[in-house]
Amino acid sequence: MKEDVNSGYRAGVRAAVKIAPNDHLTVTPRLVYQKVEMDGWNRIDVYNILANPFTTTRPAVRLGERQLFTQIDEPFTDEFLLGDLNIKYDFGNVALTSITSYTDRDILVVRDAGALTSSITGGSIGLPERVYTLDAPLDDATTAKGWTQELRLSGGKDRFRWVAGGFYSSTKRDYGQDLLVAGFEALTGIPTAGKLGAGKDVLYFSDLHYELKQFAAFGEGTLSLTDQFSLTGGLRYYDFKEDRTQVFDGIFADPANRPATIKANGVAPRLIASYKVSDSTNLNAQVSRGFRLGGINDQLNAPLCTPQDLVTFRGRDSWKDETAWNYEVGFKSRVMGGRGSFNASAFSMDIRDLQVIVTAGSCSSRLVFNVPKARSQGIELEFALTPNRHFDFAISASFNDSKLRSTLTSTAANGTVSVVAGIEEGNRLPSVPALQLAAAATYQWQMGRGSLGYVTGTYQHVGSRFTQIDDHAAGFGTVNLLS
């Protein structure tokens, strides 16, 4: 038993300088570097197949609060570099801004995959204890590099203000996993070396390369038709392309060398109307279209899948863009002689091709699915008040009713129809709490010349929510220890 397994350190440096050779031009280069090293991986297993109170073949173990069962150390390192250059030039009525950035990140994680490995070697294959208890370190390595460039012009005259520009990014990311179970081949006689990168005793191997390029052009303008009423209209065109090469090998994988490409483009508009009722109250209404880019799924671990799960999850090579139309109305006001504020809004969002992460059953894989229809609607309220110079407080509340409006099903060979991973009309969207509340109050007083004392209290309530959509699935949380 070990204590304080997640100790570590974080160190970094940030430097920036602003250069202004004249009244029109400013140049600001910046550099940020950070390195993190930890002795443990930041996760907790509440159940471990190798150490639990229900086992009949191994000594019973009851893990305490925040206790883990691991057979190896789990170090974690994360090294990050960011450099950017911000250039601004003021022509008078028009301002030019250029932002260039470069990022470089290197992450290495070692995780104890003994529980997962033993569920296959001891459970699915039925090998003896001396095999399924072998150390199983899973090495995760990620490197990512990216360039971005944004160029925009902004200006305005009289009752019209505008901004227009373009954005480009290029990102390359390499990700690989290596599951080395030393001694597996000698104890079992099962050949483990593959042809695509898996060496001896490497039961799972992956080498993934991603290259993503994006381009966008955007523009937005605000026209003040009167002193009270204004309209804002905006448009964004986006175009992206992702190339991916996936190499999988090992007896836990479906060996393959699979290149793939996905492309998408579209337009995202926005229209905002604002009306000034008085000096203290503004009304706003907005209609906008948002999007989330699609992508390419990792390959399914087909050798581990049951026949039914192969029918359900095979062929999901990629997922489409997610789009949403958002409709919102609200107001912002100053109250009680300007000492307080009260804001309220209501929204309704119509979502198409919602992207949800599902666990692919017995396949030990995760995939992204598109759900044809979903919706989210709710209200948000905020109230703040400073009755005197010593005391202020604020409260806020939001209610969000978010549900699926489509059902995805799978048909087995015998004709049985079942719902896929809890994706059923009426189920709540993952990670979205229905109710959130927050309150904060501060009392402050003058302690002396140049000194101020204060006491602050806060309260926050976040309602229940599902982590992912297949938490809704029938039998979720039930583990059949005999299969």
The vertex-452 CA angle with 446 and 455, nearest 5°, equals: 100
pLDDT at 305: 82
pLDDT at 404: 93
Give CA–CA dist 107/34, Å, rounded.
Answer: 12
CA distances from 413 to 177, 309, 418, 483 (A): 34, 11, 12, 21
Residue 361 has pLDDT above 60, yes or no: yes
pLDDT-derived band at 68, boundaries 50, 70, 90: confident
pLDDT-derived band at 481, boundaries 50, 70, 90: low
Q: What is the largest CA-CA distance in the chain?
A: 83
Higher-confidence position of 444 and 298: 444
List residues bridging with 1 in a β-sheet.
none
Residue 215 has pLDDT above 80, yes or no: yes
Give CA–CA dist 431/328, Å, rounded.
Answer: 22
| 47-51, 87-91, 96-100, 398-402: least confident range | 47-51
Which residues does 360 contact at the CB level (< 8 Å), separation at least 6?
300, 301, 305, 309, 312, 313, 366, 367
pLDDT at 231: 95
The vertex-78 CA angle with 466 and 297, nearest 5°, equals: 50
Give CA–CA dist 36/339, Å, rounded.
Answer: 45
- What mean pLDDT is predicted for residues 118-140? 90
CA distances from 213 to 38, 171, 290, 368 (A): 33, 6, 19, 21
pLDDT at 344: 96
- What mean pLDDT is predicted for residues 313-341? 90
Please check whether residue 260 is in contact with residue 307, taking contact to mean a CB–CB distance below 8 angstroms: no
Residue 376 has pLDDT above 70, yes or no: yes
- What mean pLDDT is predicted for residues 237-265? 89
Share of the chain above pLDDT 90, in %: 61
Give CA–CA dist 124/301, Å, rounded.
Answer: 14
The first and second tokens of residue 119, run together, are 């569920």
* Alpha helix positions (H), 126-228: 129-132, 184-188
| 32-46, 92-106, 153-167: least confident range | 32-46
Higher-confidence position of 157 and 438: 438
Which residues does 92 contact at the CB level (< 8 Å), separation at least 6?
none
Reference 466, options 440, 427, 438; nearest CA is 427
The residue whose two tokens read 């204004």 is 230
pLDDT-derived band at 480, boundaries 50, 70, 90: low
Reference 246, options 195, 295, 174; nearest CA is 174
Give CA–CA dist 421/357, Å, rounded.
Answer: 10
b or e along 335-371 (b: 16 or more beta carbons within 10 Å of the residue's beta carbon)? eeeeebbbbebebebbbbbbbbebbbbbbbbebbbbb
Average pLDDT, the chain: 90
Please check whether residue 271 is in contact with residue 311, taking contact to mean a CB–CB distance below 8 angstroms: no
The first and second tokens of residue 143, run together, are 């490197």
- What mean pLDDT is predicted for residues 1-25? 88
- What mean pLDDT is predicted for residues 450-456? 90
Residue 49 is classified by DSSP as: T
Please check whether residue 30 is in contact with residue 83, taking contact to mean a CB–CB distance below 8 angstroms: yes
Give CA–CA dist 436/461, Å, rounded.
Answer: 6
In this structure, are strands 391-404 and 366-385 parallel, antiparallel, or unpaired?
antiparallel
Residue 181 has pLDDT above 70, yes or no: yes
pLDDT-derived band at 482, boundaries 50, 70, 90: low
Give CA–CA dist 190/198, Å, rounded.
Answer: 14
The vertex-282 CA angle with 280 and 288, nearest 5°, equals: 160
Please check whether residue 10 is in contact with residue 70, taking contact to mean a CB–CB distance below 8 angstroms: no
Which residue spans within 66-159 are E strands per DSSP? 76-90, 94-112, 137-157
Residue 483 has pLDDT above 60, yes or no: no
pLDDT at 125: 83
Please check whether residue 198 is in contact with residue 204, taking contact to mean a CB–CB distance below 8 angstroms: yes
pLDDT at 2: 64
Residue 182 has pLDDT above 80, yes or no: yes
Query: What confidence tens digit (pLDDT) does each residue in 42-58 have?
Result: 777 778 888 888 887 78
Give CA–CA dist 122/254, Å, rounded.
Answer: 20
Give CA–CA dist 116/98, Å, rounded.
Answer: 49
Length of the chain: 483
pLDDT at 131: 92
Higher-confidence position of 301 and 95: 95
